[in-house]
């Protein structure tokens, strides 16, 4: 089967092509409707054409009508993939001649289902039920081990296969029979969690590890040490009555286990390795950089910021999903690693060239107009995407203040926080860069932005910092 993928966003074309190739399509790509017609005139008729609505030169609706007017293509399936969500707009596209419709952002599963509904794509063989994720729990508290084992074993698709009472026993258990994921306490006798983590990393570099730490200043320091040493994520130990503790474990741990174990078991898709150039646009003077990050954030920030933060002549503002104790410790840690001061943001601070601020846990970080670069506003408004701080809040207010001078960066993390904010930045004329799948601990937040066609570029972490530095040098030259 043949497919032509038509979209003016190279990242979206690459993602769609990757999904279609997994369904046994041979794919070609075009950047607008006119390119698509030229490509079709030179080759055989495809079985499927995926079409973005809003494109330069010739948009998707014009292309659909042109194809439907030609007898040669009347049997060809046309699938529109667009940011238009309103039912009347979808109906309009179908009246124009499309056979199916997928709204951005989309997942591989959504696109696969829609292609199958069109009667295309080689059906996959019936798969065996997925094996349960095998979890090792390491904690010196008998009560914690028992509670975690009970709650997690009740969750679909998770099996606690072993427990250990200290770090050394945990390492021995991994050595005997590696699990799919380890939950690791920080403070334990015989061998603490950080020492155990380093030994587990030596034995199995890609084995997912979640730290289970106390919500204290000491616990925050130790957890950050663990994250820098290679832990994939952390969960703070819940407090309260039995029912509340049980619910918190279900809420905070189960999704993380499923996501991290699933990523470790799957090879990276082709979209993980692409590094497309930014979409052509008139360069704007960068007035500020905003960063949103969650799972895997501390190490990603430590790798990213040294490339541009010490030399930045604009403010750099960061939202990392963490509790208050943790963000204060993270700011101190990044100051030592980055080569410039990183501060936890304070309400009403004036933003200045080169200032690097981290949103405090439990508070939204906003940018409000004042002076050359704006001023910090911290609020305890309602959570967004179940987060406070939320990247969407920071991105949205930065776009309102800096307009086309906003440069957004979305790094590794679960969920979709940053998607709506990235759209605000792009609508204001700014630019958004995202971390690629292969170097992300979880390609949730950046993947959502990429699939929505909002990313100028999808880059490995090592290239992302250099790209930001290049843009800042090029686009702040001569700026006051």
Q: Contact 194/222 with Cβ under 8 angstroms?
A: yes
Beta strand 26-30 with 48-51 is unpaired
Q: Contact 408/421 with Cβ under 8 angstroms?
A: yes
Q: Which value, to the nearest 10 degrees, does the dihedral of the CA atoms of residues 217, 222, 223, 226 take?
A: 170
Report H helices in 305-458: 324-338, 391-402, 419-427, 445-451
Q: How far apart are CA 86 and CA 103, in angstroms?
A: 10
Q: Which helix (H) or strand (E) is 135 found in, with range?
A: strand 133-138
Q: How far apart are CA 228 and CA 308, in angstroms?
A: 20
Q: Contact 108/41 with Cβ under 8 angstroms?
A: no
Q: Contact 445/410 with Cβ under 8 angstroms?
A: yes
Q: Give 143: exposed, middle or buried? Use CB within 10 Å, 0-12, 13-18, 19+.
A: exposed
Q: Which value, to the nearest 10 degrees, does the dihedral of the CA atoms of residues 185, 187, 193, 196 take?
A: -130
Active site residues: 294, 321, 417
Residue 399, token pair as written in the block:
């776009």
Q: Which residues on adjacent β-strands are paired with residue 137?
A: 163, 183
Q: How far apart are CA 96 and CA 82, in angstroms?
A: 14
């Amino acid at each position: 089967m043949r497919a032509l993928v038509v979209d003016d966003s190279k990242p979206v074309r690459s993602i769609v092509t990757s999904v279609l190739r997994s369904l046994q399509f041979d794919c070609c790509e075009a950047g607008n409707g006119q390119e698509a017609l030229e490509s079709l005139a030179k080759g055989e008729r495809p079985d499927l054409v995926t079409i973005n609505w809003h494109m330069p030169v010739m948009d998707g609706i014009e292309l659909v009508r042109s194809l439907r007017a030609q007898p040669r293509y009347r049997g060809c399936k046309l699938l529109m993939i667009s940011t238009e969500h309103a039912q009347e707009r979808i109906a309009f596209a179908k009246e124009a001649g499309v056979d199916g419709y997928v709204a951005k952002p989309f997942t591989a599963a959504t696109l696969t289902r829609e292609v199958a509904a069109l009667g295309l794509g080689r059906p996959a063989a019936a798969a065996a039920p997925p094996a349960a994720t095998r979890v090792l729990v390491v904690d010196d508290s008998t009560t914690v081990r028992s509670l975690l084992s009970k709650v997690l074993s009740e969750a679909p698709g998770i099996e606690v296969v072993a427990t250990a009472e200290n770090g050394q026993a945990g390492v021995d258990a991994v050595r005997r029979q590696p699990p799919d994921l380890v939950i690791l306490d920080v403070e334990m006798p015989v061998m603490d969690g950080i020492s155990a983590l380093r030994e587990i990393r030596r034995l199995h570099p890609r084995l997912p590890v979640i730290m289970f730490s106390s919500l204290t200043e000491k616990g925050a320091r130790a957890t950050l040490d663990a994250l820098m040493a290679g832990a994939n994520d952390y969960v703070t130990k819940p407090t309260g009555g039995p029912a509340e503790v049980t619910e918190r474990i279900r809420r905070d741990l189960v999704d993380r286990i499923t996501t991290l174990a699933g990523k470790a078991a799957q090879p990276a898709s082709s979209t993980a390795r692409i590094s497309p150039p930014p979409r052509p646009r008139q360069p704007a003077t960068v007035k500020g950089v905003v960063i949103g990050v969650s799972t895997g954030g501390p190490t990603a920030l430590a790798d990213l910021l040294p490339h541009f933060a010490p030399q930045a002549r604009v403010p750099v503002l960061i939202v990392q999903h963490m509790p208050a104790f943790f963000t204060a410790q993270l700011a101190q840690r990044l100051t030592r690693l980055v080569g410039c001061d990183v501060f936890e943001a304070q309400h009403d601070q004036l933003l200045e060239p080169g200032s690097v601020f981290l949103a405090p846990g439990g508070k939204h970080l906003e940018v409000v107009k004042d002076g050359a670069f704006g001023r910090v506003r911290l609020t305890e408004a309602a959570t967004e995407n179940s987060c406070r701080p939320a990247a969407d809040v920071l991105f949205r207010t930065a776009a309102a203040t800096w307009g086309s001078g906003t440069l957004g960066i979305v790094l590794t993390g679960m969920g979709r926080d940053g998607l709506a904010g990235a759209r605000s930045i792009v609508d204001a004329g700014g630019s958004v860069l995202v971390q690629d799948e292969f170097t992300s601990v979880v390609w949730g937040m950046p993947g959502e932005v990429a699939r929505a066609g909002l990313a100028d570029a999808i880059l490995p972490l090592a290239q992302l910092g250099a790209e930001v530095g290049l843009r800042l040098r090029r686009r702040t030259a001569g700026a006051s």
